[in-house]
Homo-oligomer: A and B are copies of this chain.
Amino acid sequence: MITLVAGIDIGGTNQTVAIATPEGDVLTRSRAQRPPGGTAEDLVRSISALLEEALAEAAQATPGTQLTGIGIGFGGPVDHAQGTILTSHHVAGWSGFPLRQTLTERFGVPVVLDNDANAGALGEARFGVGHDFSDFLYVNIGAGIGGGIIVRNRLLRGAHGLAGEIGHMTVVPGGAPCDCGKRGCLEAYASGRSLGRRARAATSADPTAGAAILALAGGRSDAVDGHHLMQAATAGDRLALTLVRQTAGYLGLALGNAANLLGPAAIILGGGVAGAGDVLLTPLREHLAWHLMPGMPAPAILQAALGYDAGVMGAIALALELG
């Protein structure tokens, strides 16, 4: 008999469901947008329907298959041990929702739920550039910043399943307010959202210096976002490069602090901001070196391999953790 696992990636706007072999070969994959204004129950119905279709498709292509587990990567804080969503500001009824129990009852297989950064770390460990390292730190720098820590080939979850929150490391004591409610968090200085904020402030303060960034945003300072900034920096724009180098400074501080604590062989960076490549990573490596304890070997700074597939491959890796 051929066993299969399912991976479910629940993001802010999309859900992706995939069926894979224990080797990680994806047999089917489907994606749905979140129905606007839908509740948690609506979303679970939609995900369950996607999964049932995918399973039927897989069974037709390869008779005699059996689902052995489901992994779910969720774009927000979860209680891994309880299998519940902790909080969500996007979907009504998500807070406290018993997602693991609901899907376990519906599909009759073990289900594991974790946040998308932990899923991303496991995905890179099993299917990406993390495969070569037993100890690494994964950091997703997208709209927000999440992290997952792999120690001796396993996820470090901590006492409450909440470890890895490098996005909320204080990098500027008493600094800018963060969406989490604290001040001076890395996420408030180096996430895609904060890059956009800083780029909007800089271009509206000095439209001449900001001309190249503004041109990418149709000339409107209030339309500037992090993507425009990274694009302008890659093209060599001076203001954009200054802002990106500042960002590299904050990231270098946080990753250096984390490396002194964890001693990782590598730091793997995923998400849209990290996708900008050398324009960010070259100054980041310099800043990181300044914060490493002398004698601590510099971890390799690598771009994540899974890119667009990070979410669903991470969810599959979670499901395989069950086996």
Contact = CB atoms under 8 A, between A and B. Distances in A.
Interface stretch (A1-9, A50-58, A269-277, A294-302): A294-302
Given A135-B158, A135-B159, A182-B290, A169 B261 contact: yes
Q: Please state the number of chain copies in the assembly.
A: 2
| A contact patch SS | loop
A65 interface: no
Contacts of A222: none
Nearest to A165: B260
Interface of A: 77, 86-87, 133-136, 147, 149, 151, 156-166, 168-173, 180-182, 253, 256-258, 260-265, 290-291, 293-297, 299
B257 A170 contact: yes
Nearest to A291: B170
Contacts of A157: 263
A237 B294 CA distance: 37
Contact of A161 (B169, B263, B264): B263
B156 A151 contact: yes
A270 B172 CA distance: 28
A293 B261 contact: no
A261 B163 contact: yes
Contact of A77 (B87, B165, B295): B295
A149 B261 contact: yes
B182 A253 contact: no
A124 to B, nearest CB: 15
Given A149-B261, A182-B290, 15 more contacts: A133-B159, A147-B261, A151-B156, A157-B263, A158-B262, A158-B264, A159-B297, A162-B293, A162-B297, A163-B263, A164-B261, A169-B260, A169-B261, A170-B256, A181-B294
